[in-house]
Amino acid sequence: MSGKFEIRDTFYLNGEPFQIISGAVHYFRILPECWEDRLKKLKLMGANTVETYIPWNLHEPKRGEYHWDGLCDIERFIRTATELGLWIILRPSPYICAEWEFGGLPAWLLSDGEIRLRVSEGPFLSEFARWYEVLLPKLAPYQIDHGGNVILMQVENEYGYFANDPSYLPAMRDMMRQHDITVPFITSDGPFRENLNGGRLEGALQTGNFGSRTDERFAVLKPYTDGGPLMCSEFWVGWFDHWGNGGHMRGNLEESVQDLDRILALGHVNIYMFEGGTNFGFMNGSNYYDELTPDVTSYDYDAVLTEDGRITEKFRRYREVIGKYRELPAWEEPAEAPRRAYGEIAVRDRVSLYGTLKTLGEPVRRCHPVPMERLGQAYGYILYRTRLDTEESVEKIRLWEAADRANILLEEEPLITLYDHELEREAEIDPAVLSDRQRAAFPATPRAAGSGPRLDILVENMGRVNFGPRMEHQRKGIGQCVQLNGHMHCGWEIHPLPLDDISAVDFSGPYAEKVPAFYRFVFPVDQPADTWLDFSGWGKGCAFVNGFPIGRFWEIGPQRRLYIPAPLLKPGENEIILFETDGKSQETILLADEPELG
């Protein structure tokens, strides 16, 4: 049976005033087996609505290749929320920010030529128009006036922070209407006049994103609502962590409780985040102001629920506040998913990257290096190999247009690691750091072509920037050339290493210490439970559980353990594979029964 949702002086649901009390739950950061549990807890807190982004890059990882199952089953998520009686806000815009890789934009946008993002000129409009032709017909049947529970959709996300193209937002709005999107529209921006001016769109209610100073923020927003309701579309209840930030970010609970109370006294709210979830695989985003700050794997966010969905004191305090504004559901202490410490597990097999390189895919050959996007690769690592037939030594090296982190090896032994700003300048190699093997690789006699010392450069995409103008410069790998001893070096064998099929690793190959390598662990499980992979003593890399990529690790913290949700485990034998890039490994790993976020 169809209904009606309207924006007038406030929101109206089927003709009656309706206060939106929503929580953000990113389906793509939570395993589908856990969606119902998280949504039930959202309802138990007193919320009547759930909100989610829709990440374009997860659903269309390659141009024209669409994924709608598993983490990508947005329709299942919508149906689950509907069955629980929650109303739904969808944010399907091509750009989501969300501390997500490239802000949700697909990496293949960077594959050819230059592209201007989030403007009305050039190919960007036509690319996401094609995406909308596929996505929006899937969403339209779930709208309230089609008999579903979707009551609002967002046209764009924080556009006033990014640009002010007057044709862009109307084009997006019109495109959505052409595809039978009939519910009311919103936009969301920072609560500052310049942002609101740039993000203004006729036919859409402007809302604000903020985490404090509610009266001040709503006072700025009010003139932009045209007499409509005040809404905080992202009430930031915590914050995200980036590698090396010194400790887990936590919000001020007392101030947050007061701000939530004030928001509900004045208007409507979407709590960001109700549960943050996890940046599985390589999908964390990055920020870049003075330096690169890639986000950690956990998106705990100091949210209302923990990363594994447990009730917090914040949940209980928020529930008390919400109870002042609507009748709460009867309290039933939720059954929490069990946690389990499976203990210490010894390495079963190991192989160096060199020992299994041939099984991971075919290389391509180029005169100069090219970035991974030019080769159809989006995430992971890329290895550039060459022979130094004309060099008498390696004294200086510079990687032009390189990102984000490069492990450089000579004769399959470590030489130097360069990161962020270090990639922008020429590095001098101290002869004292060379091993005997590396020195001996440069004989005094002339060398035949193809017999010179081997140079390898392993470059990691640490997560594309998800905010600001640097988004247009996010190709990964090496974009222009490698300069050795003052001149460009030609003749490269390039190995894309997306690691999207970890079963291709051949552990029967040779292993060497202090070089990039894969490590395999096997352990028994009687009853699957949530657990955490403690990577103490390991350097940098990524982890896979029964073939599923659970995320990155890095010894610099603040995150010290990676979350392994119970549905990834199975009764019987289970497998963990680590890919470690810095040559820092241990004989064991530990599976603990609690997180350690720093």
**Residue of 60, 158, 391, 580 marked catalytic:** 158
Residue 27 reports pLDDT greater than 90: yes
User: Cis omega (within 30 of 0) on the bond before 404?
Assistant: yes
Q: Identify which of 518, 521, 570, 517 has the alpha carbon closest to the alpha carbon of residue 345.
A: 521
In the predicted model, what is the mean pLDDT of residues 308-312? 98
- 78, 36 contact by CB (below 8 A): no
Strands 286-288 and 268-275 turn out to be unpaired
- So what's the pLDDT on residue 447? 79
- So what's the pLDDT on residue 195? 96
pLDDT in tens, 148-159: 999 999 999 999
**Residue of 51, 234, 413, 580 marked catalytic:** 234
Domains and CATH numbers, the chain: 5-322 (3.20.20.80), 343-349+501-592 (2.60.120.260), 368-490 (2.60.120.260)
Q: What is the DSSP letter of 112?
A: S
- So what's the pLDDT on residue 243? 98
In the predicted model, what is the mean pLDDT of residues 64-69? 98
In the predicted model, what is the mean pLDDT of residues 23-43? 98
Residue 249 reports pLDDT greater than 80: yes
pLDDT in tens, 355-388: 999 999 999 999 999 999 999 999 999 999 999 9
Q: What percent of the chain shows pLDDT beyond 90?
A: 95
Residue 445 — very low, low, confident or very high, per pLDDT cuts 50/70/90? Answer: confident
pLDDT in tens, 501-540: 999 999 999 999 999 999 999 999 999 999 999 999 999 9
pLDDT in tens, 483-506: 999 999 999 999 999 999 999 999
Q: What percent of the chain shows pLDDT beyond 70?
A: 100
- So what's the pLDDT on residue 449? 83
- 565, 308 contact by CB (below 8 A): yes
- 168, 105 contact by CB (below 8 A): no
Q: DSSP secondary structure string, 392-421?
A: S---EEEEEEEESEEEEEETTEEEEEEEGG
- So what's the pLDDT on residue 443? 82
Question: Is 158 labeled as catalytic in the residue annotation?
Answer: yes
Q: What is the DSSP letter of 267?
A: S
Question: Is 422 labeled as catalytic in the residue annotation?
Answer: no
Residue 1 reports pLDDT greater than 80: no
Residue 446 reports pLDDT greater than 90: no
**Summary mean pLDDT of the chain:** 97
